[in-house]
Structure 1
Amino acid sequence: MPLVHRSALPALCLSLILPWTFSVQAADPAAQTKAPEEQPAQRQPLPERSQEDASALARQLPAQEQQQLQAGGDTFLALWKPANASDPKGVVIILPGAGETADWPQAVAPLRNKLPDTDWGSLSLSLPDMLSEAAQPRVVEAAPAPTDKSNTAKDASAEAKPIEQVAGGETDVADRVVAESTEEQVKADAERIFTRIDAALAFAEQQNARSIVLLGHGTGAYWAARYLSEKQPSQVQKLVMVAAQAPANGKPQLAELTPTLKLATADFFYADKSAAQKAALKRLQASKRLKHSNFSQIPLKAVPGNAAAQQEQLFRRVRGWLNPQQTDN
């Protein structure tokens, strides 16, 4: 064996140790420099149900019926059918109710499809989801601050409030917070809907409509009446309400809105439904308190088991009111 000089031993040992150290580091991922942790991708907000419904309609209906209208920063779907006449009478703008689409089978679709044969163009709108009808967030109360255990029982009893008073106060605060939140949401709902009606009126004017009618079904009737009461647009000549219903948090109520309208208003309601009949009676009584009311009510009858006949009845009544010179065959 060749002799190794003492001065060369340290270098020899180092040459033997380093390769083994590097091989261990390569085999152990923990010894390597860790990459910075990646931030989780932010989840995109889910689309509104009304947006999903509109997308489904866009896939099903003919492209020539679809109009993408601009309302503020939003684009929404409206279904347009021009009047089948050389001299149209005007345009009927249809507002569906809560949870309904621009082609809803009850009232909305039958009217939008049949009105063009009576010299009226139809423009049915997609309305946004109602923020005020979403689940209200639960108010979480802060935990009470820790107390000083050195206080005497006498001091504690002197500062304590009755349980009923404390619970009642907390409930009042929570109710007030929820009420204020709901009121703001109702205002936001109204603003979003009003901008869509504005866009619909602008579209109708582009069609050189001689007359414009707002027609609302369900809660759509409430928003149409509220829009006319607050905005008082000169372009709209008539209002048609079908099975009118106010949203759960809608204020003022319909009976307060309809008497203030200065344009011709038709209130179609189903007389065989007790709640609908009582609400319709309140609207009628409110209108009678005014000297120059232009409010009329037309009762309808439900046709159980025959939806087609019920929708045909509604169409004929609406047609007769819009075109009084035509006979209702």
Structure 2
Amino acid sequence: MFTLYRTTLAMFCLASALPFAAQADDAEKPEAPVEAAASAPAPRPPLLERSQDDALALERQVPKAEQQANGENFLALWKPANDSDPQGAVIIVPGAGESADWPTTVGPLRRGFPDVGWSTLSLSMPDLLAERPQARVEAKPAIEPKKEDGESAPAKDTPADANANVAQATAPEADAAESTDAVEADDHTSEKDAERIFARLDAAVAYAQQQKARSIVLLGSGSGAYWAARYISEKQPPQVQKLVMVAAQTPARVEHDLLSLTPTLKVPTADLYYATRTADRLAAQQRLQASKRQKSSLYRQLSLMAVPGNKAAEQEQLLRRVRGWLTPKAE
């Protein structure tokens, strides 16, 4: 009986020692390389801008003969006038979120003007950098004074609520600093946006000249009217004879608003607005008042009426009003 007990005890001790021996053997073996860490994931290609996606879609829909591109790598749609003696070229500048063949204003005018003696060049516009979400800058935590032994040193003669008072006193300054940085960033991105858009307008004007257009008109829709007006105000291109603004809007976070640009325009300008839209009517009234303060103003307003349920009639009305202003004899 004693011999059986001793044998059983020895087997138990041997079984208990096996896991430790296995761990020792594993420790001596070299570690196998981790495949997941060795093979780094391939970087994702940058996403295209929304305007680039729209341009790719238009390339599949619009006839190739109407598509034009240049060194600025943007799509423009050219449609020559259906006339042996065309009046000129209308360069159409879409607004935010609109493509070069947008079904409202842009597309109907692009296809309608060639039938009344005007060639059209409709541009695709870049996404605005100023309208992208800005990263929030977090304030750095305050660093407390340290003793020589590494412990925090208590402030001398400081009441219990002093930290709260200091935080309240410095909070407006921090907010002001953050808002100042945001304003500087907005100004910077606004200038970048203007550079990109002006480069496309320069290319469009040059292309219209290559097509022997005897008159060049800029026509902006929505926020495109703002950029067309700002382009003429700042660059004053002698090749552009007239400006047409349709339902003009000022983009967010820009340096100059449309109200301040209107009096600086030195070319005949037609400002078309929908009288049935209260906000558009009030904004147009302010622009009209600003133009009246200038001598020899070439600014004129034309009202439009929305036609609910009949977009075709509404777009026909728009084409007729713009054509009548460009060529008065057409009326």
Q: TM-score range by the shorter chain?
A: 0.7 to 0.9
1:191-206 to 2 correspondences below 5 Å: 191-206=195-210
Shift of 1:155: 4.4
Aligned counterpart for 2:139 among listed residues 138, 141, 144: 141
The Cα offsets for residues 70-109 of structure 1, whole Å up to 9 and x where unpaired, read as 22xxx00000000111111110000000010000111000
Unaligned stretches of 5+ residues in structure 2: 1-24, 147-151
Is 1:268 the counterpart of 2:269? The answer is no
Aligned equivalents of 2:29, 2:270: Cα separation in 1 = 77
Which structure 1 residue ranges, 4+ long, deviate > 4 Å from structure 2? 28-36, 155-161
The Cα offsets for residues 121-177 of structure 1, whole Å up to 9 and x where unpaired, read as 000000000110111111122222244333245147797553322221111111111
Seen in structure 2, the aligned counterparts of structure 1 residues 167 and 242 have a Cα distance that, compared at 3 Å, is: same
Match of 1:16? none
Aligned equivalents of 1:308, 1:53: Cα separation in 2 = 23
Aligned equivalents of 2:97, 2:174: Cα separation in 1 = 34
Shift of 1:37: 2.4
SS of aligned partner of 1:215: strand
Is 1:183 the counterpart of 2:184? The answer is no
Match of 1:40? 41
Match of 2:59? 58
| Number of equivalenced pairs | 299
Letter of the 2:154 counterpart: N
2:244–2:269 CA contact under 8 A, matched in 1: yes
1:157-236 to 2 correspondences below 5 Å: 160=163, 161-236=165-240
Match of 1:324? 328
Shift of 1:230: 0.4
1:69–1:200 CA contact under 8 A, matched in 2: no
Letter of the 1:208 counterpart: K
1:75-114 to 2 correspondences below 5 Å: 75-114=73-112
Letter of the 2:286 counterpart: K
- Aligned-pair identity in percent equals 53
Is 1:68 the counterpart of 2:69? The answer is yes
Seen in structure 2, the aligned counterparts of structure 1 residues 285 and 155 have a Cα distance that, compared at 3 Å, is: same
Match of 1:288? 292
Aligned equivalents of 1:210, 1:244: Cα separation in 2 = 26
Match of 2:157? 154
Aligned counterpart for 1:257 among listed residues 255, 261, 271: 261
The Cα offsets for residues 153-206 of structure 1, whole Å up to 9 and x where unpaired, read as 514779755332222111111111111111111111000000000000110010
Aligned equivalents of 1:228, 1:198: Cα separation in 2 = 11
Letter of the 1:47 counterpart: L
> Which deviates more from structure 2 when the two are superposed, residues 192-201 or residues 164-173?
164-173
Aligned equivalents of 2:243, 2:31: Cα separation in 1 = 76
2:187–2:254 CA contact under 8 A, matched in 1: no
SS of aligned partner of 1:154: coil
